[in-house]
Every structure is written in C-alpha cells, then in structure tokens.
Amino acid sequence: MAKVISCLLFLLTMLAMLPETAAATQVQEFVLDNGLKVLLLEDHKSPAVTFQVWYRVGSRNEKDGKSGLSHFLEHMLFKGTQKMKPEEYSRIIAKNGGRSNAFTSSDVTVYFATMSRDKIGIEIELEGDRMVNALLGETYFEPEKKVIQEERRLRTDDSPVAALGEVAGAVAYMVHPYRRPVIGWMDDIENLTRQDLVDYYKLYYEPNNAFVVMTGDFSTQEMLPKIKAAFGKIPRGAEPPKVRAEEPPQTGERRVTLKKEAELPFVLMYYHTPNSKSRDSYALDVLSVVLAGGRSSRLYHDLVYQKRLARNVDADYNGLSIDPSVFSVTAQLMPEKEPGEVEREIDGLLENVKSELVSDRELQKAKNQIEAAFVFGQDSIFGQAMKIGYYEALGDWRLMDSYLDGIRKVTREEVQRVAQEYLDRDRRTVGVLVPIKEKSQ
Amino acid sequence: MKRFSLSLVNILSIYALAVPSTAAMIPQRSVLENGMILLTSEQRALPMVSIELLIDAGSRHDVPKQEGLANLTARLLTYGTQRRTALEISDALDFIGARLSSGCGEDLANVGMTVLKKDLGTGLELLAEVLTTSTFPQGEIERQKQSILAAIRAREESPGDIAQRRLAAALYPQSPYGRPVEGDEASVKGLEQKSLKAFYERYYRPNRTILSVVGDVSHQEIAQALNQAFRSWPKGEPVTPPAPPSKVGSAETIRVAKDLTQANIILGHEGVGREHPDYYAIQVMNYILGGGGFSSRTLDSIRNERGLAYSVYSYFGAEKRRGTFELVMQTKNETALEAIRIANAEIRRIREELVAEQELEDAKDYLTGSFPLRFDTNRKVANFLAQVEYFELGLDYPERYPDLIREVQREDVLRVAQKYLKPEQLITVLVGNQKKIGEK
C-alpha cells in the first residue's frame, strides 16, 4: 500500500501562488453520451502528456475461486485486438517515444502511457480500440498464465514481507473481497479459463464503467475531439453488478504468524478504518504523520533511533479505497529482537496518542509535512493523474479539492479521538513474520 | 561566468515536430568561489526547489579493512553538526516538510534535498551545515553501525541483491567495485570516529562537488545564497584517485542455494565506461537485445513466447572508467537452465546476424523520442544536469543526443555486439533451489 498523505487542491492556494499557470490547473470534467467520464488537467510545465483509462473493476469484484481474474485480463489486453497484432500496442507506443504500462489494484484496473503532446493521440486511439476489441486469443492464454505465475513467485512467494501482508489481509477480512490478493491465489490462477476472461471483459469493460484521466502539456480544445472520436462510438453497456459485501465489525484481536526463510522478523498491525469519504480521514492522515512521518516522528524516534528495536517503521493510512480499509503500522526488527517486545513498545506509543493530546507544534509539523508533500506531488504529471483517478474511483474527484482544507482544520482533540476510536486492539489483526533457516538442499 | 543555455523546445521541434511547450530546461552553469560547480534550471511553475549534490567520495576510496567507511560517512552526515544534534536536524527538516537524504555508491556520494521555496533559506543552512560541520558523534556512529549491520543481514532476504553482489565480486576481484558499498560485518564493526572524520575532511570538499538546483529560484539568486552559505568551506588538497579495476574475472557459473520458488539469474560481464565512443551504438544494440521494455528480443522469446519469466531485461551500465553488461531474469527453478539457454541463444544471434531495419528504426525512434520525456519532474532534471556535468557531456548534450543515436547503423549494431558481448567471459549467477534447478 502506498503512502497517501498528499492530495490536490487546485483552486484556492494555487491561484495565489502560481499566477501564470493558475488558469490551467483546474480539472475539467466532460461526460460522453455513452457514459464515459473524461477528466482533463492541463499542466504545461514539462513537455509530456499522461493519458490513463481507469476501469472500475479490480480484485474487489472477483468471486471465490476466480481470484486474479482482473489482473489476468489486464495482461491479456496487451495481446492484440481485431486491428492490432499481439504486443503491437507496446511496440507502437515505444516507437513513438512513449512509455506505457498498466496496473491492477483491489478497486481498479488502469492502462496508461506518457508521450509528447503531438503523439498522445496515438495512445488515445489504441485505448479506445482495446476497450472493446481485445481478442484475448487462445494461443496467448497459457503462456501468459505462466508469466503471471512467475510474477506471483517474484512478488509474493519469494518475498517474505509481501507474503506476510497477504496472509494478514486474508485474516483481517472475513467477508469483504479485500481479503484476496490482487494477483490471485496460485491455484486460482492455474484454474482460470479463457472463457472467464471473455465473460469478465464483456461485463466490466464498457465506457460507462470507466473514466479517462489526462494531465500535462496539451490543449483541451485539441484533445477532447480526439477522445470523443476514439471512445464516442462505443455503445453504453449494461450496468455492471455492484459489489455487495460488508465486513462485519471485528470484536476481538486476530493474530497470524508466517514462518519463512528470512533474516529479520517483521511485525504488522492492521486496524479497520473508514475511507476518505469519512470526515475522520483527515485526522487519520495527520495521525499517521505524527506517528511515522520523518525521523522526528514518534514511532521512528522511539523504535528506530532511541531503542533500536526496529530497522524501520511505518504508519500508513490508506483512505483512498472504495470500501473501508485499514490503518497499518509495520516494523522490520533489528537482529535478535523479539516481536513481542516490539509489539509492546508500539502499543505503548499508540496508547500515548490516545491518552494525551499531541502538542501544538507536533500537530503543526504534521500539517506542514502534508502540505509540502502536496506541493512536491504536483511535480509529476503522472502523480497528479493518479490522484485524480483514485479520488474519482472512490466517488468524486472533487473530494480532493477540499483535502488540504480538511487537513488544516484538524485539531489535537480530533487526532486523539480518532486514535481512541480506531486504534482499538479488538479491531486489529497482528501479523508476525518468523524467520526460519533455509532447508538443506 | 560563462552562460550556457538551451531549450528542449528546439529538440522537440526538430525531431518530433512537436507543438512548442512552455517548458524548457535552460540550464546554466557556473563555478562558485570555493570551486563547487553549480548547475541550475529555473522552473517557476511550483513553489519548490530540488537540489542534488554529487561528491567524489564513493566507496572506491575505501581502503582494505575499512570497507564501508565511505558509506558510513555519507549516512552520518545528517546525524550531528557543530550546531545541532541529530534530533534537532530531523525535527527542523520535518517541521518544514523538507526531504534531505544522503547515500553512497562506488564512485560518488550523493545528497539530495527537496524543499518549499519559502523554506529555501532554512534548507540551505541545513545543507551547508551537514556538508561542512558534521561532527560524527560517537553515539551516532554506534547507532548507525547497528543499522548498517542490520541492512547487511536484510540484504540476504533479497535474492536479486544476492545475485548482484556475487556478480560484482566475480567481475572485480580485489577491487572496491567488487565489494558491497556498505562493507561487511567485520569491517563495519571496526570503523572508528577518527577515520570517519579524516575521510570527511579529505573527500567532502567543494572542489570535489557538483551541485544542481532546479526549481523556483534563479541562477544568480542561488549562486549568491550558496556563496554565502558555503563561504567557510575551503577547497581540499588534490587526492590521487584510486586505480580503476584492472583484473577482470573470466567465465564461470556461480550458484547460491536458497529455498526459493524462483531462480534469480544474472548473466554478466564487463562493459564500457560512459566516455567510450561506442556507448551510443551499444545502447541501440542493447535496446534490441533486452533493453527495450516490452519490445526486446529476450522479452519476446523468454516471456511472450514461452511464458518463462515475468521480468527479463539487459543493460549496459556505464560509469566513469568502467561498465558492466547484465542480463537479469527470474524463472521457476525448474526452467532456469532453459531460460539461460534461450538468453545465450539471443546473445549469439545478435552477434551473428544484422538486426532487421525495422528493429533498428524502432530502437532509434524510442531512444530519441522518449529522451525529452525523461525530464518530466524537477528532481529528474536536477539529477540529469548533475550527471551531464559529472560525465562531462556538455550542456548541449540534449541537442546532440538525437544525432548520436540517429547515426547508428545496422552494421554498427553488429560490430558492437561482436565486440562488447563476450560469451567467453560471461559469468552466470544462479540464486535458487539448486536441486530443482539441476545440473546441466
């Protein structure tokens, strides 16, 4: 899970700071007749344009036994369309100086390329094409399945910390599909069929279940007609099925242990929290920075610097998920330290933010860090497109406009209250990686 | 002061017929009073400044038994100065939301900072402090040593890192380039305060430093501020540079047993330095072989056709005075030898046959077309300018680059493949379950 502490606020502060570009730093929204939403943000500070298509489908939409389907489909969208030979998409983008890729998360599947302004039209056309014309060819199905299994081995099976995250996620959620890994369980991947992909593609890849985000050095007048030409004729599809899964309240701590060949123990804690639609998300963001934002933060200073119990430590609140997610606290231990000791130390520090108000200076420091990160985040047009996309996937990109304002209003009392309410041991899952020595070979 | 300037707009309009963008790199260069080289690019779109420093203080200066000294020095820069304790430094940085990091490689130490424009003064003050008045307190040395010893343990968890280390050791025996920058357990434990202070005194000097500044500040403004902030940083004595690695290892297979589901594989040998005139032809050749992301030959035959790997790529890493070729992939243990066979076959093929005209054009189109897009953030521009200076490419390098690539012909590709891909020197590293990988 990536650290999400900064978001965009284009209107108020930027107008004051950036007179020459302020007029262009607003997101413009258009909706095509077929339901495709188009979000455009002109930003002329570097000669590049990022174009992204976001499908509102991810592992969250998958059923038991079919985990990894969204991600598998993402891979297969590079295997040709009625007009394009397999792998031709990547070749054309590269030939035109662009960089392209795609990713799948619990909530979304996203395809993107970054190119120069005069070439980005090619990407727009190709994305329009593969929204409806992907072949998902039989010939490429089995080799790609093997590729995905190798990806799983690389990312999860041979990575002790990632493997711990996977089992802890499966324990933190009982009902909600967030319990399943995005890449899928190995056995599920093995048993997926081409027909599964075909059905899934039909169900979810349609203009009314997708949106476009474009940021960078382009002009709206020039690009909007291109987007309309590439996507406008695709017919609106049936409304895809809604995910109806609500995680029942947790009423007691859950614990999970993973034994694996590794060097250093690792401890993680997942606390159930609401997402960014909740007012509390601002205070949760501030809380995560008070705990682990920089070397002077509470957890880092105590565990890493003073007591040298952990090699590194993090606190991360991911509010930008469609359904309620978790606040995580993680620590990789120093050699010869005991997970129990580290857990007790973390617990003590979390108790402190519940029992005593953070200082005024500490609160201001956390807010300053969030505001600075927000400005730094705008340095990348790709990063900006990602933020717009995540907010839109969550419900409405306009939520990000009120983000900094929400952060500025957070009080010491609110930080204390959200700590008390959500950092509740009865609503957490604790995962511990126990390193074992390698088996003799 | 000589003024260099160029605009990315020119390159775009010549080679890609782009509509001119409002953005331009327009770098400027000057040498400050104390000998520090300053490069800047004024970028006013955001109220922030990114700073990148390269210091000729990498681990190549480490002497035997003191491996890890350069790295420990770099890591301790921000842990205590004449004015401030480690906590005071981190608290000051955190309060303004600034990012300050220091690190160390074989050739260079680097310090990076990103700061809001309104806090630039505070940022520069801190930067100057850590570069000129670090005190290396005993308590901090002990802390940092423990942290590095833990990192030395942790690196055993990453099979890719293990493979990289084993390759470097085989390529550069008896050389700092063959040893991990962070040192080993015994050498790190033995490092002492007086060695750190001596290393800092000797190598952290303005005349060994390139400083690149990109963001909401003009060249004049920052040059003035830097002359002020670094006024008490005197030039250092000339230092005899350590000899570049001379002995190069010969072909061998290195196996490391680990209980993994995948074999982590590297095929590698020595390459060429960044200054080598064949550098550009090699980059084009490598793009076709394995550098070209989703459109390279090895990716096609190993991933797309056979589904053997998720990630497979090759590169010619070019540093000053040396370089390496590496082909890196991971595949389940059982198919490791098959994947190696195919990779070797691709290396053979590009040495035997001319590449297709289309492949060559695709490679050149990508390398030239994507070049301006490599600088789409202030931080990337700052890194780029510092590298241009370090490798002595000249500030007109972005203008010259497309021609350097465009002039490469199919015959050049064949020639450099034959000359710089060396099957007879190829070192094969295999980290994984050796029983499952098998013998031949």
Give CA–CA dist B210/B385, Å, rounded. 9
Whether B19 maps to a domain, the answer reads: no
B52 and B156 inside one domain: yes
Is the CB of residue A76 less than 8 Å from the CB of residue A136? yes
Question: Tens digit of pLDDT for each residue in A137-188?
Answer: 999 999 999 999 999 999 999 999 999 999 999 999 999 999 999 999 999 9
Chain B residues with CB inside 8 Å of A332's CB? Answer: 154
B194 and B286 inside one domain: no
Count CB neighbours of B175 within 10 A. 20
pLDDT of residue B240: 83
B147 and B288 inside one domain: no
Give the 3-state secondary structure of residue A109: strand
User: By the CB < 8 Å criterion, does B85 face chain A?
Assistant: no
Question: Tens digit of pLDDT for each residue in A325-371?
Answer: 999 999 999 999 999 999 999 999 999 999 999 999 999 999 999 99
Chain A residues with CB inside 8 Å of B44's CB? Answer: 20
Whether B265 maps to a domain, the answer reads: yes
B407 and B376 inside one domain: yes
Tokens of A30: 């258009």
Count CB neighbours of A418 within 10 A. 27
Tell me how close the Cα of B234 comes to any Cα of chain A, in angstroms: 30
Task: Name every residue whose Cβ is closer than 8 Å to that of residue A336 and which is 6 or more positions away in sequence.
Answer: none
User: By the CB < 8 Å criterion, does A23 face chain B?
Assistant: no
Whether B153 maps to a domain, the answer reads: yes
Task: Name every residue whose Cβ is closer than 8 Å to that of residue B356 and which is 6 or more positions away in sequence.
Answer: none
pLDDT of residue B382: 96
- Orientation of helix A88-95 relative to helix A120-132, angle to 10°: 170
Tokens of B68: 């890890």
Whether B16 maps to a domain, the answer reads: no
Whether B4 maps to a domain, the answer reads: no
pLDDT of residue B249: 64
The mean pLDDT of chain A is 93
Whether B210 maps to a domain, the answer reads: yes
Is the CB of residue B127 less than 8 Å from the CB of residue B92? no
Give pairs for B155-159: CB < 8 Å, separation 24+: B155/B180, B156/A263, B157/A160, B157/A262, B157/A263, B157/A264, B159/A158, B159/B258, B159/B260, B159/B262, B159/B264, B159/B330, B159/B431, B159/B432
* E-assigned strand segments in B273-426: 312-319, 322-332
Reply yes or no on whether the pLDDT at A7 is more than 60. no
B99 and B61 inside one domain: yes
Domain region containing B386:
252-437
Whether B138 maps to a domain, the answer reads: yes
CATH number of the domain residue B363 falls in = 3.30.830.10
Give CA–CA dist A425/A347, Å, rounded. 9
* E-assigned strand segments in B224-285: 252-257, 262-270
Give the 3-state secondary structure of residue A441: coil
B225 and B256 inside one domain: no
Q: How many domains does chain B have?
A: 2
User: By the CB < 8 Å criterion, does B71 face chain A?
Assistant: no
Asked if the Cβ–Cβ distance from A150 to B143 is below 8 Å, we say: no
Asked if the Cβ–Cβ distance from A118 to B17 is below 8 Å, we say: yes
B208 and B65 inside one domain: yes
Question: Tens digit of pLDDT for each residue in B277-332?
Answer: 999 999 999 999 999 888 899 999 999 999 999 999 999 999 998 999 999 999 99
Question: Tens digit of pLDDT for each residue in A9-40?
Answer: 222 233 333 333 333 348 999 999 999 999 99
Tokens of A314: 């993090």
CA torsion B394-B396-B398-B400 (nearest 10°) is -100
Question: Tens digit of pLDDT for each residue in A251-261?
Answer: 999 999 999 99
pLDDT of residue B18: 33
How remote is the C-alpha of A183 from its chain's centroid? 14
Nearest CB to B90; choose among A45, A295, A439: A295
pTM score, two decimals? 0.92
B263 and B163 inside one domain: no
Mean pLDDT by groups of 10 residues along chain B of 440 residues? 31 30 76 95 95 97 95 98 98 98 96 98 97 98 97 94 96 91 97 98 97 97 95 90 72 95 97 96 98 90 96 96 95 98 98 98 96 91 96 95 97 98 96 93
Give CA–CA dist B39/A173, Å, rounded. 52
B92 and B216 inside one domain: yes
For Cα atoms B308, B313, B319, give the angle at the middle one, nearest 5 degrees. 155
pLDDT of residue B238: 87
Question: Tens digit of pLDDT for each residue in B232-280?
Answer: 999 999 888 787 776 666 789 999 999 999 999 999 999 999 999 999 9
pLDDT of residue B4: 33
B284 and B214 inside one domain: no
B72 and B133 inside one domain: yes
B91 and B133 inside one domain: yes
Reply yes or no on whether the pLDDT at A404 is more than 90. yes
Is the CB of residue A36 less than 8 Å from the CB of residue A231? yes
Tokens of B286: 């490598």
The average pLDDT across A282-303 equals 98
Give CA–CA dist A353/A392, Å, rounded. 32
Top residue of B22, B141, B375 to mutate, by most chain A CBs within 10 Å, is B22
Active-site option among A62, A74, A127, A392: A74
Top residue of B49, B284, B294, B328 to mutate, by most chain A CBs within 10 Å, is B294
User: By the CB < 8 Å criterion, does A380 face chain B?
Assistant: yes
Nearest CB to B331; choose among A99, A150, A261: A150
Give the 3-state secondary structure of residue B106: coil
Chain A residues with CB inside 8 Å of B308's CB? Answer: 146, 150
Is the CB of residue B378 less than 8 Å from the CB of residue B50? yes
pLDDT of residue B133: 97
Q: Active-site residue A74, yes or no?
A: yes
Length of chain A: 441
Go through A212-224 and write b for each residue having 16 or more CB atoms within 10 A of its CB, e for each that does not.
bbbbbbbebeebb
Asked if the Cβ–Cβ distance from B95 to A305 is below 8 Å, we say: no
Tell me how close the Cα of A150 comes to any Cα of chain B, in angstroms: 6
Please name each of the domains of chain A with its CATH number: 34-231 (3.30.830.10), 254-436 (3.30.830.10)
Whether B246 maps to a domain, the answer reads: no
Strand arrangement of the beta sheet that strand B27-31 belongs to: B27-31, B37-42, B209-215, B48-55, B109-116, B99-104
Band the pLDDT of A46: cuts 50, 70, 90: confident
Is the CB of residue B25 less than 8 Å from the CB of residue B215? no
Give CA–CA dist B35/B348, Å, rounded. 48
pLDDT of residue B247: 63
Nearest CB to B372; choose among A47, A297, A379: A47
User: By the CB < 8 Å criterion, does B12 face chain A?
Assistant: yes
Reply yes or no on whether the pLDDT at A8 is more than 70. no
Which residue in chain B is spatially nearest to A20 when comparing CA positions? Answer: B45
Give CA–CA dist A324/A277, Å, rounded. 9
Among B168, B196, B229, the domain boundary falls at B229
